Amino acid sequence: MAEAATDEMATASVNGAALVFDRSGAAWWPEERLLVVADLHFEKGSAFAARRGVLLPPYDTRETLARLEQACAYYRPKTVIALGDSFHDMQAAGRLAASEVAQIRALTSAHEWYWIEGNHDPKPPEDLGGWVAGTLACGPLTFRHLPQPGTQPGEVAGHLHPAAKVTVRGRGLRRRCFVTDGSRLILPSFGAYTGGLDVLDRAFAFLLAGPFHAWMIGKERVYPVASRKLG
């Protein structure tokens, strides 16, 4: 299921498609020149400040866009798929700085860009470029925001913000991760201010009934860890 890893990235097969898992949290499909990210959550910081009175440094969109630009510059994809919850709420696009709007439009102009509808953004803004879709199929893979219960070969989804924990030399380490059983894949959240749900949570039990690997994002590389070693 998971085989080679480099200093920056790791490769795995998902329903027969060879994918690269990058330290940024993006997945790269070389055969299709396709880059996929999940849960950007643009303007989450400003939403928390407005609705909950929680003051977070207002740089999450800037940081997320910078990493997204770096991934696109490195891989030079033909197609980019953002797997839903790209915008933290329906008013998020209106809170973007002018420079951030320009960055997004430059990205959507440079690539075939698809915004998948999420639960936070069921109607992504149409004036930033790209196309909007509920689901998108390409060869053996189907891209959507919400993972569907039961057997879904080739499903690539987001929403759950997977994270995993291991114990190394008596110290617990928790990291964002890709999670796959070889048939389906759930991506980590790409957004700067997004949290994570442990892959051993019952929410994953209905999706990953058998053994799986959590590809944990470290500082220097992505590490595959078998499900039996997590906890």
Nearest partner of 191 among 89, 42, 75, 48, judged by Cα: 42
Please give the pLDDT value at position 210: 85
| pLDDT above 90: percentage of residues in the chain | 74
Res. 90 pLDDT band, cuts 50 70 90: confident
Q: What CATH number was assigned to the domain covering residues 2-229?
A: 3.60.21
Please give the pLDDT value at position 3: 36
In this predicted model, what pLDDT tens digit does every residue of 172-204 receive, in sequence order?
899 999 999 999 999 999 998 788 999 999 999
Please give the pLDDT value at position 91: 87
Please give the pLDDT value at position 114: 98
Please give the pLDDT value at position 144: 98
Q: State mean pLDDT over 26-37.
A: 98
In this predicted model, what pLDDT tens digit does every residue of 205-218 receive, in sequence order?
889 878 999 999 99
More confident: 91 or 224: 224
For the stretch 116-150, what's the b/e string if a residue is b when 16 or more beta carbons lie within 10 angstroms of its beta carbon? bbbebbeebbeebbbeebeebebeebbbbbbbeee
Q: State mean pLDDT over 14-42.
A: 97
pTM: 0.91
Please give the pLDDT value at position 8: 52
Mean pLDDT of the chain: 90
Nearest partner of 179 among 48, 27, 30, judged by Cα: 27
Give the residue extent of every domain in the chain.
2-229
